[in-house]
Amino acid sequence: MEPLSFQEYICSLDPTTLPRILRICSGVYFQGSVYEISGNECCLSTGDLLKITAVTLQKVVCENVRTGQTTELLPTFKGLFQPAPDLGPCPAPQEPFLGVSMKKGLTLPQALEWGGRQRQPLRCPTIGPHALLLSPVYEVQATMNLRRDEVKIPSTLEVDVEDVTEESQDVHFSRPLLLSEVLGMEEVLPTQAEILEGPRSATIFESAWVPRLRKGQRLQIHSCSHTWRVLASARSGTRRFLLSSAYQGRFRRRPRQFAGVQELAASLQPGQQLHVVVTQDCEGREDDVPPLSVGDRLEARQLLLAGGSTRLLCLRHSEEEDEEEEGEELLLPLDLGGSFVEEACDNKKYRLTELVELLPLPCDVRVVATDPALERDVLGSFPALRLEARITQPFLVSSFCEEPDKGFEIPPQWLDLSLVLTEEPVHSQAPSTHCSHVEELTEAFYYKLLAQLPGGSAPPPPRPPKPKAAGRAVQVQPSPAPKQKDRTRSRGKRSLAPSPTTSSQTRLAPPLPPPLVLPQKVKSLTTHRSTPNEYSPRPRLLASPRSRKAPSNTDMEKSSDEHDYEVIEEDIQKTIHKMQTVFPF
């Protein structure tokens, strides 16, 4: 068949013979061009093949033979057409029109078929008295090799084509797929594929196999992985990981550390109490917020609305109080700083599956036995890890064709790419995926992942009060009376539940969002002790090495008025004993 213009070929095409395969020959776009077809770019180059699957009439352009004016008709046009013999001899009626009364007129589809490829002048009284030439415009639906979607091409596209249907019976039009689409095609697995376009998203894993996912690379996709993951971060650095549920290392629980009341409140589970010890002195605020000292034992209870703000209800316990005594009741604002560590002593070794099942997340752990399947388990080098959240995400077990035994797991929802399935055989044995037990995350993806998790868009913690203006005298709050006396008086006035007289002012606050707290990048969350420059309600009395003279009564009174010092050698020993019982490691 000789090449024809695309318009001529489509106008003479018999729809009953579809599908047809065409080859792009030459024309205006000899070297091939990029067209905007149905909102998508479509490149038609010389030699490309098209598989025509459907042809639909879009409109008909009527040209006035005398004036050259054009009018567009929709396919639903109801007017009738008659031949115009005064402009030339009428063609002999073709087979489809035998028995049709030419005097009655032709419908629009009949008029387009009448006369074959050569356009014949027609008259339509509905339009006017002058002769018309009809030019149909079709929408051609076609499939192209290595193109994901079918294209819709107008028949007026200025290219030449030739029909190669008979000699192209063995031609297979490959349809590209996204890796995410393969997740729903488990019936084709295992299969082999070739990457057409690498991932467009930023790198998510710090793994050696990720940069190899580029154009031309051949993959073997074996199966879908149904393991879940746990998001983890190193407490003493800025490295983050995804741990597979197949991880075989052992963990030991560590006391959680909280940098401020906000983190403490976010980790409080409904209906449960959280016992912590203060590890850094915290200055109070006027009369309603007392100071906190190193070694204070607090029991976080619940959130309350008090005075128009949300506060955390805590009980402060002392060594001297009886077990039946409830302790001193405190209402701590969420923007209060400080540092706390959980009171926990658990020497049991856990698997990852046991930790997630038994303990609420987030929780702090330490790897005490690394994964034996890994050549180097990096998790064993960190003194503490925070397990932040459990993630259920589908993965595909894959391997490179040149290394069929070394497998890895790809998350298509995070790392999508375009590929085409091939019919080549796949390695029968499933590869080892030990390297996917621990995947290190990039910093950018870690924070992106946090935002996608439930509660990731939680509002920031309350802003702390503005600092006092410079130059103003700072009044140090006097040391409170002995705690035992305060607590004795408070037991008769306070209780865990608000009293009827204060229920209108203090009530339960709504729970905080899920405790996904972003770890600080630089600040270390290790335990701190108060220093002489930090305010403490019970400062240490440091004796001067130069003066051995006993101070007079007058000097003692003046010193007491200015500093209110207190000797606490016994309290120091008690604090050391408390801290030793808190940290089991």
pLDDT of res. 429 = 86
Segment 548-570 shows an average pLDDT of 47
Residue 374 CB partners (closer than 8 Å, separation 6+): 434, 435, 437, 438
Segment 274-285 shows an average pLDDT of 91
| Least confident range of 55-59, 100-104, 310-314, 445-449 | 100-104
Query: How sure is the predictor about 569, in pLDDT bands with cuts at 50, 70 and 90?
Result: low
Reported as a single tens digit per residue, the pLDDT across 458-497 is: 445 555 555 554 444 334 344 344 444 343 333 333 333 3
Backbone angles phi, psi at 146, to 5 degrees: 60, 35
Query: How sure is the predictor about 266, in pLDDT bands with cuts at 50, 70 and 90?
Result: confident
309-317 and 297-306 beta bridge pairing:
antiparallel
Residue 508 CB partners (closer than 8 Å, separation 6+): 302, 303, 304, 305
**In angstroms, rounded to a whole number, what is the distance separating the alpha carbons of residues 332 and 349?**
35
The larger pLDDT score, comparing residue 301 to residue 558, is at 301
Please give the DSSP secondary-structure letter assigned to residue 432: B
3-state SS, 114-174, equals CCCCCCCCEEECCCEEEEEEEEEEEEEEEEECCCCCCEEEECCCCEEEEECCHHHCCCCCC
Tokens of 537: 């309600």
- CB-based burial, 391-429: b 16+ in 10 Å, e otherwise: eeebbbbbbbbeebeebbbbbbebbbbbbebeeeebeee
| Least confident range of 275-289, 313-327, 383-397 | 313-327
| Least confident range of 100-114, 176-190, 306-320, 535-549 | 535-549
**In angstroms, rounded to a whole number, what is the distance separating the alpha carbons of residues 426 and 192?**
6
Distances (CA, A) of 496 to 156, 194, 429: 82, 66, 63
The larger pLDDT score, comparing residue 251 to residue 429, is at 251
The answer on pLDDT for 59 being more than 90 is yes
The larger pLDDT score, comparing residue 7 to residue 267, is at 7
Per the rule left: phi > 0, alpha: psi between -120 and 50, beta: everything else, 38 is left
pLDDT of res. 414 = 94
CA angle 578, 583, 585 (to 5 degrees): 145
Query: How sure is the predictor about 202, in pLDDT bands with cuts at 50, 70 and 90?
Result: confident
Please give the DSSP secondary-structure letter assigned to residue 177: E
pLDDT of res. 31 = 37
Query: How sure is the predictor about 457, in pLDDT bands with cuts at 50, 70 and 90?
Result: very low
Residue found under tokens 């197949």: 246
pLDDT of res. 544 = 39
**Nearest CA to 28 among 154, 156, 159, 155?**
159
Reported as type and span, the H/E element at residue 49 is strand 49-64
pLDDT of res. 297 = 93
- Tell me if 437 sits within 8 A of 247, measured CB to CB: yes
Segment 438-449 shows an average pLDDT of 94
**Nearest CA to 132 among 212, 70, 201?**
70
Q: Which DSSP string corresponds to 287-338?
A: TTB--B-TT-EEEEEEEEEETTEEEEEEEEE-SSS-TT---EEEEEETT---
The answer on pLDDT for 187 being more than 50 is yes
Reported as type and span, the H/E element at residue 557 is helix 553-563
Query: How sure is the predictor about 132, in pLDDT bands with cuts at 50, 70 and 90?
Result: very high
pLDDT of res. 541 = 37
Residue 216: CB atoms within 10 Å = 8
- Considering the chain, what is the average pLDDT of its residues? 78
Q: Which DSSP string corresponds to 384-424?
A: -EEEEEEE---EEEEEETTEEEEEEEE-TTTS--EEEEE--
The answer on pLDDT for 203 being more than 50 is yes
Dihedral through CA 244, CA 246, CA 249, CA 253, nearest 10? 60
The answer on pLDDT for 565 being more than 60 is no
- Tell me if 43 sits within 8 A of 34, measured CB to CB: yes
CA angle 240, 245, 248 (to 5 degrees): 90
| Least confident range of 15-19, 498-502, 550-554 | 498-502
pLDDT of res. 511 = 57
pLDDT of res. 523 = 36
**Nearest CA to 384 among 527, 572, 577?**
527
Query: How sure is the predictor about 578, in pLDDT bands with cuts at 50, 70 and 90?
Result: low
pLDDT of res. 356 = 93
3-class DSSP state for residue 248?
coil
Measure the N-to-C terminal CA separation of the chain; round to a whole number of Å.
86
**In angstroms, rounded to a whole number, what is the distance separating the alpha carbons of residues 33 and 496?**
78
The larger pLDDT score, comparing residue 2 to residue 247, is at 247
The larger pLDDT score, comparing residue 428 to residue 549, is at 428
Segment 94-113 shows an average pLDDT of 71
**In angstroms, rounded to a whole number, what is the distance separating the alpha carbons of residues 425 and 244?**
29
The answer on pLDDT for 83 being more than 90 is no
Q: What radius of gyration do the chain's Cα atoms show?
A: 40
Reported as a single tens digit per residue, the pLDDT across 330-356 is: 999 999 988 999 987 788 999 999 999
Residue 101 CB partners (closer than 8 Å, separation 6+): none
Beta-carbon-side half-sphere exposure of residue 106 (alpha carbons within 13 Å): 23
- Tell me if 330 sits within 8 A of 321, measured CB to CB: no
The answer on pLDDT for 540 being more than 80 is no
The answer on pLDDT for 161 being more than 90 is yes
The answer on pLDDT for 208 being more than 50 is yes
Residue found under tokens 């002195």: 281
Segment 363-387 shows an average pLDDT of 94
Segment 113-140 shows an average pLDDT of 86
pLDDT of res. 18 = 94
Tokens of 479: 């040391």
pLDDT of res. 269 = 81
The larger pLDDT score, comparing residue 518 to residue 335, is at 335
**In angstroms, rounded to a whole number, what is the distance separating the alpha carbons of residues 221 and 427?**
10
3-class DSSP state for residue 355?
helix
